[in-house]
Structure 1
Amino acid sequence: MTVFLPLLDDEGSDLVQVLARIGPIVVSPSQFADLPNNRYYINLENSPDATLDLILSWLNQGVEKVIVPLTSAKELIGTGIPPERLYLLLDVGSVSAVSDTVRNGVSGVFLKTPAIDIDLISSVSKFFANSAIHVLPATSFPPTPSTIRELLSIGAAPVLTTSQLTFSATSTDRINVADAFLAPIVSDRHDGLFPTIVATETGHSLGLVYSSIESVKESIITGKGVYQSRKHGLWRKGETSGATQEVVSISLDCDSDGLEFRVKQAGAGFCHLNRQSCFGEISGLPALESTLRSRLAYAPEGSYTHRLFNDPALLQSKIMEEADELCRAVEKKDVAFEAADLLYFALAKCVQTGVGIAEIEQSLDAKAKRVTRRPGNAKPQRSKQPEVQPTAPVASTSQKSNTTIQKSDTTIRMRTSDLTTVTPEARLELLKRPILKSDEMIGKVKPIVDDVRTRGDAALVELTAKFDKAKLTSTVVFPPFAPETMQIDPDVRAAIDQAYSNIHKFHEAQLDKDTLVVETMPGVVCSRFARPIRRVGLYVPGGTAILPSTALMLGIPAQVAGCKQIILATPPRADGSISPEVMYVAHRVGASAILKAGGAQAVAALAYGTETVPKVDKIFGPGNQWVTAAKMLVQNDTDALVSIDMPAGPSEVLVIADHTANPAFVAADLLSQAEHGVDSQVVLVAVNLTAEKLADIEREVDAQANALTRVEIVRESIPKSVIVKTSSTDEAIAFSNDYAPEHLILHLEDAPERVADIDNAGSVFVGQFTPESCGDYASGTNHTLPTNGYARQFSGVNTLSFQKHITSQQISSEGLKNVGPVVATLADCEGLDAHANAVRIRLRASK
């Protein structure tokens, strides 16, 4: 039951999380872009240019309702937006202009009135008999609880601006959030308490308690489970037992005489008998989830469940096996049996990775809210398999046979070399990367760079049309960035926000904040202090993948370092837009401008500046050979006065694996780099592995590769890759140090202890549960790393990459007497009389 709708205005951002516990919130499109993932209605009153595609994108992201003016409603009804997702924004004087088509095409009315006129609102409510009515009066003061009850009695509810709401006591101009929410609640008990059902996030009952006005107020504001004991007063759940509750939502029942709290329960459970529910043992999926969580924590070593949780390859095989069995099942009982098996192993996978039923249901709810749908076709590697023609009921679990998985005719496999038998010359060949014809590439990019340098924006527009197939009128976007350009999946937004937090935390710790002060001799004080590079250009590649992660990895250290101008360059899509994920990251890192251009033309624009593109002092970021050549060209041009982060080449990974390595993990790590491009460099250094172990790894590489959407890229990159067999860990690490890989992954029994032996690597990933993917996205380290063996000389991008150091010295009269003779003598030795004179003239003056 919706008691009132909160409308987020200029005041009240601190109320959002509290209001989310009791229902949806009305926001504008610009506010929606920066809010956490809660329930929202979007009000389009001041957004006349919102397109159908934009509205559909909001609804697909989980927005519950879109509130549109009458003119827009006429256009939107019949376009595929379900009536239950559409509200009509209406002035009370315009009710007569509403047609039956509009009235039947919406599920609610957002009614603007000069004041709350019960009779008038009642007549409107009767006209829109099948719609929810929400009343927004023009008065600055909120309705009283009694007025709220009167509105609810005629089927309407007030809209309260957040500036009219407060956590404090209700006054003439503000109403307490809990007072507004509890306005209609009634009790038929002599003590005035309200029966309250406490349930899990998924709606499974935990128990029956009682609430009071006071306890509900505290729960709404604190987000903790607080109830009213009939004997002891306020009962703050878990205060003594530790079994606390985080309140997810609080709702009134249809008669306003009972409450439901949905909570995240900590500890053993809700019941005082140490079980989850007061109504007995749980069953079904919640029971299975509870059992699996317990087994994940306490399953004895050697048990099947322990093995299942600690052997990803086994768990993956079981999920695939059960899915295949379910597809083959025909009889009703067999379908139920096989579905149960699949659910068991699928939920085991979820529990292993920290995902519960609540998260699964949230994902299902999000999918259900989508108003547009993908075609739903199977991925190519699935759709190519022959259709299964069941001929008999499927056997029970005890009778299952092995299933042959069809593969491509050509096995995807690596080359192999053995360090114990190769010649020194052959070993050197193993260390080499593909030859980069720098001079040839620089010759190709120079005309492009010169064109942009000479003609500026006009050249950029032409080159972007030529190379990126995007016709632009302007190549630069300046903040504030339009909210509609940053509309992304809520899950992706949350992942970006968490990655941002981790990366920011690690890079902030690197910041050089302190001034180094050293007195080298009495009276001679030398200092060094850091300053940010004022203007930086960040190149974020496009091409075969969208890379918001690169925008994070470059933008965050620039932001942390305090760079005054952060110009982000990235190739536009064919329609001239930038991927919304990259746009959102640009917003998060405080980009000063976004250059919609890629390749050598983008590098040139950053290096020299154009009419609209600000010139930068240093260019960062990976790219293809055109980008790399252009960076090398401009850094050597004294007219550009620009530096670059490092030379760049194809992505690389070197994995060192011993007998403890999991073949599935090793294969997955190799493929995570192989999918970047056909020139990716992938090396497996095998430490005394048996032929069987190597065969297991190669089988996993082939099987996993064939399940990838980018399998065709892998088909070209993996055959160019190599397995290097070594006889010891020391020999393997020595080879790795000579190779100097961009990414080094240690699948070793003593991985943490061997890190001390690593001299050359861009970034090191230690142990079997540290995939390179985590460093690429969210662990906190930077993924812009030296390739092509440059890890011998270069560090990866870090906060100090965006800072420069300035030294200073301050010498007193006494200090000059100490150091001056030394300086004069050395200047005389070099024949630089003026240098010596600058010292001696001061020494004479100080006598």
Structure 2
Amino acid sequence: MLIPKVLDLNSLSPEISRAINCLPTRLFVSSPSNEDAGRGKQQGNWVILADEEFSSIDIDGLISILDQGYEGVIFPNTKALESTLFSDSSTASSVIPQSRLGVVVTTEDDSLDQIKSSAQKASLIIIPDTLIQTQADNFLVEAVKLVNEAGLLDNKTNEGGSRRLAIEITTPDVLKVVEQLAPKTTKAEFDFIVNASSISIDNIGELFVKSSHLNSDRPGGLFTTVVCDQQNECLGLVYSNTTSIGESLKSGQGVYWSRKQQGLWRKGLTSGATQTLYGVNVDCDSDALKFVVEQHGVGFCHFNTRSCFGGQQRHGISGLARLLESRKESAPEGSYTQRLFNDPKLLKAKIMEEAEELCEATSGEEVAWEAADLLYFALTKCVASGVRLSDIESNLDRKHRKISRRPGNAKPKWESQQQNGRENGAKRLKVEEEIVRTSITSDSIKAAKEGEIIRMRSYDTQELSETEKNALLQRPIIDSSEIISRVTPIVNAVRKEGDKAIREFTTKFDNVQLNEVVIRAPFQVPDLPEKVKAAIDQAYNNIKKFHEAQLSDTLTVETMPGVKCTRFSRPIERVGLYVPGGTAVLPSTALMLGVPAQVAGCREIVIATPPRKDGSVVPEVLYAAVKVGATAIILAGGAQAVASMAYGTETVPKVDKICGPGNQYVTAAKMLAQNDTAAMVSIDMPAGPSEVLVIADSTCIPAFVASDLLSQAEHGPDSQVVLLAIDLSDEKLAQIEAQIHEQALRLPRVDIVRQSIPKSYCLKVSSIDEAFEFSNAYAPEHLILHMDNAENYVPRVDNAGSVFVGHYSPESCGDYASGTNHTLPTYGFARMYSGVNTGTFLKHITSQQLTRDGLKDLGPTVMTLAEVEELEAHRNAVAIRLSGQYD
């Protein structure tokens, strides 16, 4: 390996400085006249103590140098090393790892003994080339042998590593000396230290190859080269040789050797996807290279992906950092990230809020969730300040290299529990008082004192700007690209392999072995408790009654004498209904989708639902399927079920429309199918997480409000729950908060609620007008009016999936049995979509019939418009009739 020795960084040309910064290790000479603590920030920098500095240094001074971030300290001679760290009175050897120590062997007498002794104490042993010249021919071989015999480094830090021998070249013709000494041993077990001022930008490639003992068994002397980014994500595999390495170090960019063109390949020269070079490393066998680069443009691969190993998107922290950097350059207008960039106070508040939520998180899943939130806001702060992820990692590495450690105590304002929780403590005391007042159980009081209260976030419109209020209207951003990339192969497999693919995916995802993919009517009516059957029957009757009322007669209008227009409906012939399984049994969804399809008169009603572990249908869902007249049931869920209905298989009938809720994979599959003209299928509506918005005034009953919020929050961790409190007193709000906590603790799905409720919020508004303005802008799936004379306010609802009016109209009734449909638009789509209804399963056809007189009156208008549009055949179709020639 080539190790540049830098006496004066400022005296080097910019090209040489850039090139040596790409090498794994650099050695700086430290002296009172050459101080530069900033050098320690860069990984790979060692410092050699000059004689005049060593004479005044002590252990604390040595630790101070290492704390600047240097990889290690090199002592000017073995005596200095012994007296400073390994004297009888010194404890430094137990504090400073061997991996951080180096020494120069200068004494000619007993040099091999000194090398052997030094190899027991330091990781880098340096001998000058002048010393080698005075020794026997086998001196270098013996020196390497002694260093190898010293074995691996002490592995206390779990970092491993081995000791290395380095030859410092002091003569001007460095390349000649390297060529002479490199073949002295058969293995690449020593490095070369070269004065940086002796390195030429024109010969640095050759010098690097020879000093690194690089060898190749490939034609043309090519070296396999792995290209990675600064987070060690592999971008691709290329080839290098001496010429390309020199050009890359010289230009500071990714330059490789093209086997096809037999010449230099300057990455990005034509595509613009250039690379900034940050590091060149040699592998342990000295036959392969690793280039560390910053990739610009679309990516490394000629397929316009970031990596040659597949995947357009970067994931995790590095992917987030890259996304934020792009958002800083061109954030979508009105995006939340743009708002954070432009509002430092909000960003600071969010960082502190998320840090607190992370501290209060208990379960592993909750901790991971909150940590992700905190990382998002912390990285946003960094990007806003021009700090990159590589800068953060560099600081982490630098701190890791420190020898001295802080005690680790918190600052005074955080250290004291009493001081830390002054504001929160006051809120907690207030909640505890309300807990007692509302007869909450002792378990809840204990949980409240331990800081585990399940509570929503709280805002007041009087304290929010318009920008902040608009941000509350936004749902969490759903990045569908990753989901689409996972769903597409599933859809394609079902389309190609049919039932075989469905069986394989059901085994893989549901751990169920299917004997048959589809069962067909007539179905055997399952044996259910009479109470359950009666409940399903009543729900069925109410839903059917309400949806039958939605059927309309043929519409006939005479738009002018002799011109009659009609509109009539016809059922969609074949419909597919997706009934989810997973964490809940959902016969209600089978009814909500099946009844309107039955009322509309659909000829084929196909239900897809995940099977139980024994491969059978959930009995309650099967009973509902019998009630709605389903013709077939597909024993599958997920994207594979959607794909089977969209394209059809050997046993699954193809449908014309797919309806029903599901997770992100189901939604993605529905969107894919709808956009594929080969499928020729439509869907009901886009879908997002389930949501509810409650408007409550002073007449609300806290227990009822809490129950409605929780009934939606238990759907999943991403459920959206909003409470609009119209001028409610602090006492009333505290009662609602206490009821949320108490009722949640009694729920079997409390772990889900613990995730969804803290991400939900209560917004205090000052008037009814303000409440409905916000609600209509939010366009919730479910809107519940906990208000006095609530029915009077229904006309003010412009956007909502379904409205629940008054204190005794829980959302649960609409979900199950009141008669309205529970398959509703979410994610704000209530602005432009209706929920599932009878019309969902109908198509409307229009007709027109004209008499001779009617055409005579209307014809001139049609011909004039056809002439304007220069469509002569259209004009002629009227003119030929009006001419009377063919009567």
Q: What's the TM-score, normalizing by structure 1?
A: 0.52
**Among candidates 576, 581, 585, match of residue 537 of structure 1:** 576
> Distance between the aligned counterparts of 2:479 and 2:653, measured in 1?
31
Higher mean C-alpha displacement, 474-483 vs 595-604: 474-483
Please give the per-residue CA displacement for 1:171-201, whole angstroms capped at 9, x wherever unaligned. Answer: xxxxxxxxxxxxxxxxxxxxxxxxxxxxxxx
The question of 1:586 aligning with 2:625 is answered yes
Task: Confirm or deny that 1:739 pairs with 2:781.
Answer: no
The 1-side partners of 2:629 and 2:861 are apart by 49
Per the alignment, residue 764 of structure 2 pairs with 725
Q: Residue 405 of structure 1 aligns with which residue?
A: 442
Aligned counterpart for 2:512 among listed residues 466, 470, 475: 470
2:485 aligned residue? 443
Within 2, Cα distance between the matches of 1:744 and 1:764?
A: 5
Matches within 5 A, 1:190-589: 405-407=442-444, 408=447, 409=450, 410-483=452-525, 486-512=526-552, 514-589=553-628
> For residues 751 and 598 of structure 1, what CA distance do their matches in structure 2 show?
40
Structure 2 residue identity aligned to 1:416: S
> Which residue in 2 is equivalent to 1:760?
799
Match of 2:223 in 1: none
Shift of 1:845: 2.9
Corresponding position of 1:613: 652
User: In the aligned structure 2, how far is the partner of 1:569 from the partner of 1:423?
Assistant: 47
Q: From the superposition, tell whether residues 403 and 818 of structure 1 become closer, same or farther in structure 2 (CA, over 3 Å).
A: closer
Q: How many residues are paired up?
A: 444
**Within-5 A mapping of 1:591-610:** 591-610=630-649
- Secondary structure of 1:600's match? helix
The residue type equivalent to 2:484 in the other structure is: I
Q: 1:494 to 1:404 in 2, by over 3 A?
A: closer
Whole-Å separation in 2 of the counterparts to 1:518 and 1:668 = 49
Q: 1:794 aligns with which of 818, 833, 843?
A: 833
Q: Distance in 1 between matches of 2:701 and 2:871?
A: 67
Give the drift of 1:438.
2.4
For residues 403 and 700 of structure 1, what CA distance do their matches in structure 2 show? 8
Q: Read off the aligned partner of 1:490 and give its amino acid letter.
A: E
CA-atom RMSD, angstroms?
1.3
> Which consecutive aligned stretches of 4+ in structure 1 deviate over 4 angstroms post-superposition?
401-404
Q: TM-score, length-normalised on structure 2?
A: 0.49
**Shift of residue 840, structure 1, vs aligned partner:** 1.1
Aligned counterparts of 1:783 and 1:639: Cα–Cα separation in 2: 31
What is the distance in 2 between the residues matched to 1:620 and 1:690?
43
Q: Which amino acid aligns with 1:467?
A: F
Equivalent runs, 1:13-162 vs 2, <5 Å: none
1:773 corresponds to: 812
Match of 1:298 in 2: none
SS at match of 2:485: helix
Match in the other structure for 2:850: 811
Give the letter for the 1:440 counterpart: E
Distance 1:412 1:616, change over 3 A: same
Cα deviation, 1:660-711, whole Å, max 9, x if unaligned, reads 0000000000000001111110001100011110000000000000001111
Q: Secondary structure at the match of 1:452?
A: helix
* Aligned partner of residue 584 in structure 2, secondary structure: coil
Query: 1:828 matched to which residue of 2?
Result: 867
1:443 Cα offset (Å): 2.1
Contact kept in structure 1, 2:515 and 2:615, CA below 8 Å: no
Post-superposition offset of 1:750: 2.5
- Contact 2:576/2:607 (<8 A) preserved: yes
SS of structure 1 residue aligned to 2:549: helix
CA distance in 1, matches of 2:493, 2:622: 28
Does structure 1 retain, via aligned residues, the 8 Å contact 2:522–2:631?
A: no
Unaligned stretches of 5+ residues in structure 2: 1-437
User: CA, structure 1 residues 712+443, in 2 after alignment: closer, same or farther (shift >3 Å)?
Assistant: same
CA gap 1:602/1:403 in 2 versus in 1, 3 angstroms: closer
1:518 deviates by 1.2
For residues 455 and 777 of structure 2, what CA distance do their matches in structure 1 show? 24
* Aligned-partner Cα distance in 1 for 2:634–2:686: 22
Deviation by residue 1:382-418 (Cα, 9 ceiling, x = unmatched): xxxxxxxxxxxxxxxxxxx989521344111100011
* Secondary structure of 1:510 counterpart: coil
Instruction: State the SS of the aligned residue for 1:661.
Output: coil
Give 1:764 deviation, angstroms: 0.3
Note the residue ranges of structure 1 that are not aligned, 5 or more in a row: 1-400
Q: Quote the Cα distance in structure 2 between the aligned partners of 1:759 and 1:836.
A: 43
Find the aligned partners of 2:610 and 2:595 in 1 and give their Cα distance: 20
Q: Give the drift of 1:442.
A: 1.8
8 Å Cα contact 2:440/2:742 also seen in 1? no
Give the distance between the partners of 1:733 and 1:829, measured in 2 at CA.
47
Question: What amino acid maps onto 1:735 in structure 2?
Answer: F
- CA 1:643/1:721 → structure 2, altered by over 3 Å: closer, same or farther? same
Secondary structure at the residue paired with 1:654? Answer: strand
1:633 alignment partner AA: L
Is the partner of 1:782 in helix, strand or coil?
coil
In the TM superposition, residue 501 of structure 1 has moved relative to its aligned partner by: 0.6
2:758 matches 1:716: no
Residue 520 of structure 2 aligns with an amino acid whose one-letter code is F
Identity %, equivalent residues = 65
Distance 2:793 2:871 in 1: 52
Whole-angstrom distance in 1 between the partners of 2:489 and 2:881: 55
Deviations 1:354-380 (A, max 9, x none): xxxxxxxxxxxxxxxxxxxxxxxxxxx
Larger Rg: 2
Aligned to 2:821: 782
Equivalent position SS for 2:833: coil
How far has the Cα of 1:823 moved from its partner?
1.1
1:242-267: CA deviation from partner (whole Å, max 9, x where unpaired): xxxxxxxxxxxxxxxxxxxxxxxxxx
- What corresponds to 2:729 in structure 1? 690
Deviations 1:115-165 (A, max 9, x none): xxxxxxxxxxxxxxxxxxxxxxxxxxxxxxxxxxxxxxxxxxxxxxxxxxx
